[in-house]
Amino acid sequence: MEERNARGARGLVLVAEDEDAIADLERLYLARAGYGVHVERDGVAALEQIRRLKPVAVVLDVGLPGLDGVEVCRSLREAGNWTPVIFVTARDDEVDRVLGLELGADDYLTKPFSPRELVARVKGLVRRAAGPWAPESLRVGHIRLDLAQRTAEADGRRVQLTAMEFDLLAHLMSQPGRVFSREQLLAAVWGQADYGGGRTVDVHVAQLRAKLGDASPLRTTRGVGYSVSPDPGPARG
């Protein structure tokens, strides 16, 4: 455990990384960006400290000893903890990436990566999780989003969404009926058009549909992209 958990001007980021050189680099660049940083080097300790310290974001290595990053993320989400999580892994494999997103991770970086890129990703997630929205709501069909509180309801029931899922749904609901291409959604929601490929969007849409159930307003226009509509229709187009 590394006791450097002063919150910093931008809040505390918990880094779970067992390679000292990488952990030190992540800590250095995050601290320069104004974040407090707390480092843990195994999954069991990381999970405990995430619950105790309540960081604004978690940088989570997949290959942690004790309890791997996938299980740490799974435990957080099952407990209703939706702190933004960035997975870091040495495996550049789409199966791993999709698994991470399905478990509720908000972002994904493959080693080696630029520490500046990591900082940019953390800033984006923290900004979105804090809610850069006006204090108002969006409603399409049976789905309601409170943009100030960043909460979602489907048929009156509360639905837990990750930061990225919320932002994706909010972006689509801001212009009902408009079909957005995957590239447009990647640029608008993730901030860079080449991140992860179209599969990233597909996975998030699938997760939203699973969580929203029969109330889902998400529609697919084959060969084009995604939209939302209050009208009943085939969800997968």
Name the residue among 70, 117, 110, 73 with its Cα closest to residue 94. Answer: 110
Mean model confidence pLDDT for the chain: 84
pLDDT band for 232, please (50, 70, 90 cuts): low
Two structure tokens written together for 211: 């969580």
**pLDDT class of 164 with cuts at 50, 70, 90:** confident
**CA separation for the pair 8, 6 (Å, rounded):** 6
Average the pLDDT over 164-182 and give the result: 90
Say what the pLDDT of residue 57 is. 93
Considering the chain, tell me which residue range(s) the CATH 1.10.10.10 domain(s) occupy.
Answer: 137-228
Confidence check: pLDDT of 10 > 80 = no
Q: Is 60 exceeded by the pLDDT of residue 9?
A: no
pLDDT of 198 higher than 50: yes
Predicted TM-score of the model (pTM):
0.62
Query: Which has the closest alpha carbon to 189: 143, 141, 125?
Result: 125
Domain with CATH 3.40.50.2300 in the chain: 12-130
Contacts of 95 (CB under 8 A, 6+ apart): none
Res. 194: pLDDT tops 50: yes
pLDDT for 85-139, tens place per residue? Answer: 999 988 766 556 666 677 778 888 888 889 999 999 998 888 777 654 444 789 9
* % of the chain beyond a pLDDT of 90: 49
Contacts of 37 (CB under 8 A, 6+ apart): 4, 5, 8, 12, 13, 14, 15, 26, 27, 30, 31
- Return the CATH number of the domain spanning residue range 12-130: 3.40.50.2300
Let me know how long the chain is.
237
Q: What are the beta bridge partners of residue 153?
A: 144, 158
Whether the upstream peptide bond of residue 234 has omega within 30° of 0, thus cis, is no
State pLDDT tens for residues 28-78. 999 888 888 999 999 999 999 999 888 989 999 988 999 999 899 999 998
pLDDT confidence tier of residue 148, bands split at 50, 70 and 90: confident
Question: Which CATH class name applies to 137-228?
Answer: mainly alpha
